[in-house]
Amino acid sequence: MARYILLGKFSLNGVKGVINSSADRASVAKKAVEAAGGKFVSYDFTRGIYDFVGIADGLNDATASALKGVVLSSGDFEQIDMLNTYDQSEFSITAKAIMTAGYTPPSES
């Protein structure tokens, strides 16, 4: 199971909700992640092109996508981008296997 990072932007309605509510958004995010079967890591507001970042462990692609879909369906979010991480050693092992299997780039074919 991978770590998933959700980067999001609130819609105008979502911003109004955050401003007018005293709800702890991190607690809400934690409940959603745990309901999806994951382990909540963090939820923070950000400055820049995204309004928040949420991080969760122990999800798979289907559960992470379901979490994103439910959150987006509220209409309180303009955009949510989802990234998943993996260990560098997995990348290195797979890349070496591909290279030793005889892969040749187009320029050398």
Residue 25 contacts residue 18 (beta carbons within 8 Å): yes
pLDDT at residue 1 in the model: 63
Count up the domains in the chain and report the number. Answer: 1
Alpha carbon distance 105, 40 (integer Å): 41
The domain containing residue 72 runs over which residues?
A: 2-108
- Reported as a pLDDT band with limits 50, 70 and 90, residue 87 is confident
Alpha carbon distance 99, 11 (integer Å): 45
Helix (H, G, I), strand (E, B) or coil at 20: helix
pLDDT in tens, 25-81: 999 999 999 999 999 999 999 999 999 999 999 999 999 999 999 999 999 999 999
**CATH value at residue 21:** 3.30.70.920
Q: Which two tokens stand for residue 22?
A: 């005293």
